[in-house]
Amino acid sequence: MKLALFQIDTVIGDIKGNKEKIITGYRKAVKDKADLVVFPELALLGYPSLDLVEKKEFRDTVNIAAHEIAAQTNAVGLLFGSLTEEDDVVGTNLFNSALLCYEGKIQFVQHKTLIPNYDVFDEMRYFESARDVFVHEFKGEKLGISICEDIWNDKDYWKKRLYSNDPVERLLDKKATFLINISASPYSYGKRKARLEMLSALTEKDKIGLAYVCNVGAQTDLIFDGASMCFDIAGNLIQLGKNFDEDYILYDTDKKYEQITKVERTFEEEIHDALVYGLKEYCTKLNFKKVLVGLSGGLDSAIVAYLAVQAIGKENVNVVMLPSKYSSEGSVKDSEKLIANLGILSNKISIQPVVDKALETLQPLFGEKPEDITEENLQSRTRGLLLMALSNKLKYLLLSTGNKSEMAVGYATLYGDMCGGLAVIADVYKSDLYRIANFINRNGEIIPEAIVTKAPSAELRPDQTDQDSLPPYELLDKILRMYLEENKEMEEISQMIGDKEIVKNILRLVDHNEFKRRQAAPALRVSNKAFGYGRRFPIVQGWRK
């Protein structure tokens, strides 16, 4: 069988655009004499469509479009993801489905069996589980069709499984001769390699070929990296789609292909490309032509400005330096050097007159109270005020520049440096940003060396450094990884760190700053546990007082 696999970038809710993309791809594959054309999970409506699926008009539009697509087919099969609806008095009656069309009709439907309900997945809110799975005979093959999560539950591979049911095992029991999995699997570093190992083990064990077709694109905070995969009966990866780009793969099951062994690059390369791609997609899909960055002279804003240039071009990036009386001469000069290296537009506005006037206005109410963090936050909020005004007036997308370490412990000012429409690096720890900076400078200095090497500082009071309030970032990030991503608690982390008071203080800061993160801009997700929709903790709680 000759398969044509399309990993496409859809727009959530753009039924007409997604439909046209599917039909156009199908016609191309027909010309290339494919037997079966395959598109990803929920390709017709976009993934994840969230509460849009609760609207009847939306569902009706999807259903009409699905039949319009089917009407375009001939003897060549077309498999794509959509939602389907059944008439029942119990449950949501909605299914995440794979539709196989040929000869002008929808000939076969397979619903998704395993409905994930963890991390960024909330499909149980919308979809019911398939009551059974079936194979479908098509052009000499018995196709075993599954959807995303359905293939992630092999009892011989996973030591601990999330589900007792294994849809793929049941497809094999029903004598499937070839497996197809359509997927919308969000990116995180390391997941592509894990996917390779899992699918390779499954196909080798069961001596069966597999076409795994994955979504690509970015939907707000979620990035989909593509990298569709085909495996032979020996478990060898023999076809691999592009990373972070649409692709079209022709796979003939009767041909022999060279084995592919490498699917992931270095951490720095992967995260760099994922962030650039996620930012570009966000701007494109929301129709932002230009972005704005508040440039502080520090590493975080420098990297965000660089990534923006890579995503949408230097002519579309404008940075603003906003010095105060505490800003060092070096920070301004470092920023100016970065601006020259990137070739971007820039402006400089002193925040001091606004800060002074605000303090003068507040003095009758502040009275004789000593200076504290209030005055520091006022400076940050003045910067936020000016940046948001420029964003509104000039129609720029303001990018937030906080990193994951800062967001975790609340070392960021609400309505100040947290202002913005997208948090580009808020899922990257500070210690990892140094690695990315060195990667950016691998062929010559782009980010000035002084920015990379100087002690991080918010510069909101004389001689301030981040380490006045926080432990060294290497130690902080080690604690945060264990707490945020490995779900370890204080006693276990303390044993590994050797300092219970530091751990206690850091975990308290994480928990007590949940209210800030709840109001933060969406953050591009590149780890297996990002802040936002995939991490849900209460603001009001008594677990850690």
CA distance 158 to 194: 11
pLDDT tier at 466, thresholds 50, 70, 90: low
List pLDDT tens digits, range 430-457. 999 999 999 999 999 999 999 999 877 7
Q: Which of 273, 276, 315, 308 is nearest to 293 (CA)?
A: 308
Q: Which of 527, 542, 295 is nearest to 407 (CA)?
A: 527
Q: Alpha helix locations (H) across 105-190?
A: 167-173
pLDDT at 364 over 90: yes
CA distance 226 to 39: 11
pLDDT at residue 434 in the model = 97
List pLDDT tens digits, range 371-396. 999 999 999 999 999 999 999 999 99
The answer for residues whose C-beta is within 8 angstroms of residue 173's C-beta and 6 or more apart is none
List pLDDT tens digits, range 276-326. 999 999 999 999 999 999 999 999 999 999 999 999 999 999 999 999 998
List pLDDT tens digits, range 12-58. 999 999 999 999 999 999 999 999 999 999 999 999 999 999 999 99
- Averaged over 181-195, what is the pLDDT? 97
So what's the architecture of 2-264 in CATH?
Answer: 4-Layer Sandwich (3.60)
Place of tokens 């997208």: 422
- Report the SS3 class of residue 488: coil
List pLDDT tens digits, range 148-167. 999 999 999 999 999 999 99
pLDDT at residue 508 in the model = 95
Q: Where are the domains of the chain?
A: 2-264, 270-465, 471-512
pLDDT at residue 413 in the model = 95
Q: Mean pLDDT of all residues in the chain? A: 95
Please tell me the pTM assigned to this model. Answer: 0.95
Q: In 227-238, which positions are buried (b, 16+ CB within 10 angstroms) versus exposed (e)?
A: bbbbbbeebbbb
CA distance 290 to 320: 14
pLDDT tier at 228, thresholds 50, 70, 90: very high
Half-sphere exposure of 332 (CA within 13 A, CB side): 12
Torsion of CA 270, 275, 277, 281, to 10 degrees: 160
- Averaged over 254-264, what is the pLDDT? 96
In contact, 123 and 107? CB cutoff 8 Å: no
Catalogue the active-site residues: 41, 112, 148
pLDDT tier at 459, thresholds 50, 70, 90: low
Q: In 416-433, which positions are buried (b, 16+ CB within 10 angstroms) versus exposed (e)?
A: bbbbbbbbbbbbbbbbbb
CA distance 226 to 229: 9
CA distance 485 to 489: 11
Q: Which of 279, 310, 311, 281 is nearest to 425 (CA)?
A: 279
- SS3 string, 413-441, reads CCCCCCCCCEECCCCCCHHHHHHHHHHHC
pLDDT at residue 458 in the model = 64
Place of tokens 């037997």: 35
- Averaged over 179-191, what is the pLDDT? 97
Beta-sheet pairing, 141-147 with 135-138: antiparallel
Domain 270-465 falls under CATH 3.40.50.620 = yes
pLDDT at residue 328 in the model = 80
Instruction: Locate 94 and state its tokens.
Output: 């909605």
Q: How far is CA 351 from the centre of its chain?
A: 34
- Averaged over 509-528, what is the pLDDT? 96
CA distance 209 to 263: 19
CB atoms within 10 A of CB 120: 18
C-beta contacts of 352-357 below 8 A and 24+ residues apart = 352/323, 352/324, 352/325, 354/382, 354/385, 354/386, 355/324, 355/379, 355/382
pLDDT at residue 460 in the model = 72
CA distance 125 to 150: 17
Strand partners, 317: 291
List pLDDT tens digits, range 406-424. 999 999 999 999 999 999 9
CA distances from 210 to 50, 133, 201, 230, 251 (A): 29, 17, 12, 6, 10
In contact, 425 and 401? CB cutoff 8 Å: yes
Sign of torsion, CA 453 456 459 464?
A: negative
- Report the SS3 class of residue 347: strand
List pLDDT tens digits, range 49-100. 999 999 999 999 999 999 999 999 999 999 999 999 998 878 899 999 999 9
Amino acid present at 530? A
pLDDT at residue 27 in the model = 98
Half-sphere exposure of 467 (CA within 13 A, CB side): 8
CA distance 91 to 88: 8
